């Protein structure tokens, strides 16, 4: 039986696509009441709870201005520059909104998303790891530079994904997500970047390398853009390269939450490259199974009847 709010199951073909390409778009899989609630939760988190609780917030538009003033390259293009400063929107995000927002927490823990993760992982257990709540307001100039999520997490294992869910109609012009298909199979781990440009930051691990200039050489890579409708879910592997463009639209906000889940092969692994998350409270050590109050088990296969 499908969980409440799940309109259909993940197909075998979609599982195969996720394994092969590292990303799959699942059209019309969530009931609209879930995504409508999510939209209200995003607005509450980013407009009214910005300074509430111990969560990491990031105004990428402010950061882009600071980086440019310091002589650090920030991704841009003529259409984005033409927006100017008058009426310019913001690109903002929050890590761990579930720790302060009841709607986002309820969807993270109790919606069909954990079941979807289990189906794609083909795992007997799924943990919730974290969320990133994002918004590109109308006329936002900033790109989300191509990056992978892996260096931002304290995890190791192949069953780690982000589930990108938006309550808005998202088009290429409003910042639809872009993915380099198959890049999770390159066997390469990349340093984190400044999100609005390709410059790296922080203390990377010795095995992490800088991401190539994909934006400047897009024709060399197998890039797919996934516009989305409310009710769609886009799922990507944590080591898949992905990013998005500006929100050029003056009449549309692009809101989303990326819910992060982990399967049964995942263990805790401290990464020097991962920024501190003040809402993370646990005593896990390298190699530990991550089951704990901070990273709860949100789906488990039922034991067969005896």
Instruction: Say what the pLDDT of residue 302 is.
Output: 82
Residue 306 in this model has a pLDDT that exceeds 70: no
**Structure confidence at residue 52 as a pLDDT band (50, 70, 90):** confident
Instruction: Say what the pLDDT of residue 82 is.
Output: 95
Instruction: Say what the pLDDT of residue 201 is.
Output: 85
- What is the percent of the chain with per-residue pLDDT over 90, rounded to a whole number? 94
**Structure confidence at residue 84 as a pLDDT band (50, 70, 90):** confident
Domains of the chain by start residue, with CATH: 17-279 (2.60.120.620)
* Section 90-96 average pLDDT: 98
- Residues 180, 222: Cα–Cα separation, whole Å: 5
Instruction: Say what the pLDDT of residue 304 is.
Output: 56
Q: What is the mean pLDDT of the chain?
A: 96
Instruction: Say what the pLDDT of residue 303 is.
Output: 62
* Section 119-140 average pLDDT: 98
Residue 86 in this model has a pLDDT that exceeds 90: no
- Give tens-digit pLDDT for 256-303: 999 999 999 999 999 999 999 999 999 999 999 999 999 999 999 986
Residue 29 in this model has a pLDDT that exceeds 70: yes
- Residues 220, 151: Cα–Cα separation, whole Å: 24
- Which residues, 6+ apart, have CB-to-CB distance to 126 below 8 Å? 114, 117, 118, 261, 262, 263, 264, 297, 298, 299, 300
- Give tens-digit pLDDT for 94-116: 999 999 999 999 999 999 999 99
- Give tens-digit pLDDT for 199-250: 998 878 999 999 999 999 999 999 999 999 999 999 999 999 999 999 999 9
Instruction: Say what the pLDDT of residue 53 is.
Output: 80
């Amino acid at each position: 039986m499908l969980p409440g709010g799940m309109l259909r199951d993940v197909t075998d073909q979609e599982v195969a696509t996720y394994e092969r390409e590292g990303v799959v778009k699942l059209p019309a899989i969530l009931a609209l009441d879930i995504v409508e609630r999510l939209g209200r939760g995003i607005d509450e988190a980013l407009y009214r709870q910005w300074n509430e609780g111990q969560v990491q917030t990031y105004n990428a538009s402010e950061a882009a201005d600071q980086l440019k003033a310091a002589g650090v390259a920030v991704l841009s293009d003529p259409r984005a520059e033409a927006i100017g400063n008058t009426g310019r929107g913001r690109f903002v995000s929050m890590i761990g909104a579930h720790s302060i927002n009841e709607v986002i927490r309820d969807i993270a823990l109790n919606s069909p998303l954990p079941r979807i993760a289990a189906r794609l992982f083909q795992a007997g257990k799924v943990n919730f790891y974290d969320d990133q709540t994002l918004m590109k307001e109308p006329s936002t100039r900033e790109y989300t530079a191509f990056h992978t999520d892996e260096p931002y997490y304290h995890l190791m294992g192949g069953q780690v994904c982000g589930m990108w869910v938006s309550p808005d109609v998202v088009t290429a012009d409003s910042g639809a997500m872009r993915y380099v298909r198959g890049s999770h199979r390159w066997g390469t781990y990349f340093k984190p970047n400044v999100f609005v440009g390709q410059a790296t930051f922080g203390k990377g691990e010795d095995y992490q390398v800088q991401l190539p200039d994909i934006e400047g050489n897009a024709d060399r890579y197998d890039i797919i853009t996934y516009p989305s409708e409310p009710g769609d879910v886009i799922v990507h592997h944590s080591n898949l390269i992905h990013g998005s463009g500006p929100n050029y639209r003056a009449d549309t906000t692009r809101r989303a939450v990326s819910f992060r889940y982990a399967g049964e092969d995942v263990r805790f692994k401290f990464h020097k490259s991962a920024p501190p998350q003040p809402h993370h409270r646990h005593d896990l050590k390298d190699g530990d199974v991550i089951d704990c109050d901070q990273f709860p088990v949100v789906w488990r296969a039922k034991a067969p009847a005896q």
